[in-house]
């Protein structure tokens, strides 16, 4: 729920700011907030370079590549529905990459993942448009997909033991450094309206500080593929939120997609838990 609120908040923010400017402001504020929380409340030293480098790599993959790729893809003409569908493949790509690095899944879990993706496809079906977008738009979306998939596995394997506040500060500040040249190229463009400041406040406080903290803890405690399976629920839950926040239609097909995605997540995560 917390993660999905970022989509309507982001849509509102993009009406008042250039995409990379919005991301740079969001990530820089969240990174500084996490660093302040660590300095004020942590009873340990700041992580060494050996401990920090993995969080920096995770930030590059999971934040800079994922969000930068998606925002750039949409800016180059890809439809929001197509972007959601491609990113919706994330749990499957994570499972495939995980298979080659030693993470195994049972056949029933693959069935759950297939159902989850089918649910995502139904939910976003009315928004998927193969427009005459620049070819770079599709490359950017694929980069975003690879970024979040590889980043989830990398964080589980190398960057989940670090202090949560320090780790997420490093992730967000790394993403800021990577994306700020794009924001400068845009002219660091935003309008100083209540809607812009409200969307930034929500994205930083609710999505980056609360949502990413929960995701960090999930990755630390569970298998990366199980955590990734939850992403099948992102488009359905977002569709419900958009119905209430943005007055978008919630059709019977979307309801069917929601049910199918939820069933897929249940099968894809429950079987592993029951096995343990």
Tell me the mean pLDDT in the region 216-222. 92
CA-CA distances (angstroms) from residue 179 to 43, 87, 108?
A: 31, 20, 40
The answer to whether 270 touches 251, Cβ cutoff 8 Å, is no
Residue 247 CB partners (closer than 8 Å, separation 6+): none
Q: Read off the pLDDT of residues 100-151 as tens digits, 9 standing for 90 and up.
A: 777 677 888 889 999 999 988 888 887 777 666 788 888 999 999 999 999 9
Helix H or strand E segment including 58:
helix 49-58
Read off the DSSP letter of residue 47.
Answer: P
Q: What is the pTM of this model?
A: 0.88
Residue 76: per-residue pLDDT: 84
Residue 179 CB partners (closer than 8 Å, separation 6+): 20, 23, 24, 27, 64, 67, 68
Alpha-carbon distance of 175 to 28, in angstroms, equals 8
The answer to whether 198 touches 11, Cβ cutoff 8 Å, is no
Residue 175: per-residue pLDDT: 98
Alpha-carbon distance of 223 to 106, in angstroms, equals 13
The answer to whether 87 touches 148, Cβ cutoff 8 Å, is yes
């Amino acid at each position: 729920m917390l993660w999905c609120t970022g989509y309507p908040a982001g849509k509102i923010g993009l009406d008042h700011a250039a995409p990379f400017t919005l991301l740079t402001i969001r990530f820089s504020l969240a990174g500084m907030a996490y660093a302040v929380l660590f300095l004020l409340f942590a009873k340990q030293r700041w992580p060494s370079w050996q401990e920090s480098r993995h969080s920096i790599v995770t930030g590059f993959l999971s934040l800079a590549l994922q969000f930068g790729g998606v925002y750039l893809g949409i800016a180059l003409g890809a439809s929001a529905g197509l972007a959601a569908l491609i990113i919706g493949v994330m749990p499957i790509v994570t499972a495939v990459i995980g298979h080659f690095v030693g993470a195994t899944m049972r056949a029933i879990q693959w069935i759950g993942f297939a159902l989850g993706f089918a649910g995502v496809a139904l939910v976003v079906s009315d928004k998927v448009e193969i427009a005459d977008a620049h070819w770079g738009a599709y490359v950017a979306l694929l980069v975003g997909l690879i970024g979040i998939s590889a980043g989830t596995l990398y964080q589980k394997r190398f960057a989940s033991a670090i202090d949560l506040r320090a780790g997420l500060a490093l992730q967000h500040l790394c993403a800021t450094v990577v994306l700020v040249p794009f924001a400068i190229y845009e002219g660091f463009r935003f309008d100083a309206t209540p809607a812009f400041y409200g969307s930034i406040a929500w994205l930083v406080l609710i999505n980056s500080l609360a949502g990413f903290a929960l995701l960090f803890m999930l990755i630390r405690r569970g298998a990366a593929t199980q955590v990734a399976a939850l992403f099948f629920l992102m488009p359905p839950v977002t569709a419900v939120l958009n119905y209430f926040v943005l007055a978008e239609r919630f059709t019977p097909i979307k309801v069917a997609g929601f049910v199918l995605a939820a069933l897929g997540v249940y099968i894809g995560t429950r079987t592993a838990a029951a096995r343990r």
